[in-house]
Amino acid sequence: MAAAGFLVTLAIFLVSSSSISNAFDNDPLQDFCVAVPDASAAVFVNGKICKNPKLVTTDDFVASGFNTPASTNNSLGFG
């Protein structure tokens, strides 16, 4: 009887594990949009004007101004 309980527990574990591993998007949308100032050199993706995904580089996701402190002595508290 203990073996039957073990097999039922093992079966429940395997079924629940396989459902998690199959939970992925078969048709993923583009999950990034790099803004461009020139609309003629852009691609229209998901309702937004984006840079062509084939021309996107890692430098498009880096901002150099976040490592320097700014004055917070104003009405908005940043700046």
Does the pLDDT value for residue 29 go beyond 70? no
Domain locations along the chain: 29-63
Q: What pLDDT shows up at residue 78?
A: 67
Q: What pLDDT shows up at residue 25?
A: 63
CB neighbourhood size of 51 (10 A)? 19
What 63-68 contacts at long range (C-beta under 8 Å, 24+ apart), as own/partner pairs, is none
pLDDT digits (tens, 9 = 90+) for 42-78: 777 767 788 888 888 988 888 877 787 777 787 776 6
